[in-house]
Amino acid sequence: MTTYIWQHPDWPNRRYDMTRLATPLATVRHVQGRLLGRMESLGFSLRDEAWLQTLTQDVVKTSEIEGERLDAEQVRSSIARHLGLDIGALAPLDRHVEGIVEVMLDATQRYAVPLTAERLFAWHGALFPTGRSGLAQIRVAAWRDDAGGPMQVISGSVINPCGREKVHYTAPPANRLAAEMTIFLDWFEQPGELDPVLKAGLAHLWFVTLHPFDDGNGRIARAIGDMALARSEQSQQRFYSLSAQIQQERTDYYNVLERSQKSDLDVTEWLLWFLACLQRAIARADETLSAVLAKAKFWERFASAPMNERQIKVLNRLLDGFEGKLTTSKWAKLAKCSQDTAYRDILSLIELDALVKADGGGRSTSYELALAKQVKLIYHCLPTLTE
């Protein structure tokens, strides 16, 4: 029978080797400081734009890790509403999007407020406002009760599971959760010598090991980790997305979690992976910074150009990162206009040298920003956080 980390007699007294963690922790702290210093040198508007882009990416990617795709424009609009940032026309409200945005903002904006069971219940209720996860009804704003059997992480065929399912992890029984969560929350709020970055990694592993809710445990674990990272920086503003990096390394993330949950109480491997992933996330902040600077440069150049609201809206979508190729049909959908109107909008922007036809042919002509090549050049010329 598999022995999980929570079944050890000394649980939750985990061990880790600080001689192996000291150097990667110092490196993370260094790049954290460099990033904050670089962002403080920007003007308020550019810093707010970088903050908004990072938060949008964080919300979208933490949901994508769980296989759920959110509309980035709705996420961005929701965050802007909550933070009072002016981004022009806002997308319609979606209660599901609002819920995850509220959780992430509460964790990072109110990072100094103690984490309690009631606060976790509020987060869970925001994630599942209808009381359902997909079609399944779940317990909301309460610890799971295991009425349907033990909480397990399983992969395999749902349609024909015989011989194909694999149990990756079994969580502690529900009757232990109240006591276990009390210990966890007391530890999280206890001051001490433990570096907050290491606390972020330990809290993430500890929470997903307990798996206290019917669903949403991964998203809440990452929110708790972001809360600890905000405490480590003493800042409400975040300019890197750990969730985006975890999503990119999703397979490794789940593999190291599984090994750590099936190991003894030594969690050094998990913390080494967490620190390395965090360092890569901070390094990727260069991409956000380059995009923000490129956007500012673009609008500085076209500040006096005659453009209608549709054109400004779609250009901003391109500047914020548009997936796929921009065609007249996609323009029409984004701008909510006819294809003839979309084509006229595009032609006038080509005349202004704001758009160009994209390289390559195909069945549909596509377009891109005329500054696309300059954007790439700006990015490659920027000093990196690791230099």
- pLDDT (tens digit per residue) in 57-72: 899 999 999 889 998 8
Q: Is 254 part of any known ligand binding site?
A: yes
When mean pLDDT is compared over 43-52, 157-166, 183-192, 352-361, the highest value belongs to 183-192
Whether residue 5 is predicted with pLDDT greater than 90 in this model: the reply is yes
Q: Is 344 part of any known ligand binding site?
A: no
Tell me phi and psi for residue 253, to 5 degrees: -60, -50
For 278, the enclosing helix (H) or strand (E) is helix 268-283
The span from the CA of 220 to the CA of 206, in Å, is 12
Tell me phi and psi for residue 373, to 5 degrees: -70, -40
For domain 5-283, give the CATH superfamily: Fido-like domain (1.10.3290.10)
**Scanning the structure block, which residue is given the tokens 């050094």?**
268
CATH topology of domain 289-381: Arc Repressor Mutant, subunit A (1.10.10)
The full set of domain ranges for the chain reads: 5-283, 289-381
The span from the CA of 133 to the CA of 122, in Å, is 16
% of the chain with per-residue pLDDT over 90? 53
Residues marked as catalytic: 211
Q: CA separation (Å) from 25 to 240, 270, 375? A: 17, 13, 32
- State the sign of the Cα–Cα–Cα–Cα dihedral 355, 48, 125, 117: positive
Q: Is 14 part of any known ligand binding site?
A: no
Confidence label for 195 from pLDDT (cuts 50, 70 and 90): very high
Amino acid making up residue 36: L
Beta bridge partners of 357: 367
Q: Is 15 part of any known ligand binding site?
A: no
Residue 90 region by backbone torsions, left for phi larger than 0, else alpha for psi between -120 and 50, else beta: beta
pLDDT digits (tens, 9 = 90+) for 197-252: 999 999 999 999 999 999 999 999 999 999 999 999 999 888 899 999 999 999 99
Task: Extract the tokens encoding 64.
Answer: 């994508």
Q: Specify the 3-state DSSP secondary structure of 232.
A: helix
The pTM is what? 0.78
**Scanning the structure block, which residue is given the tokens 């390559």?**
360
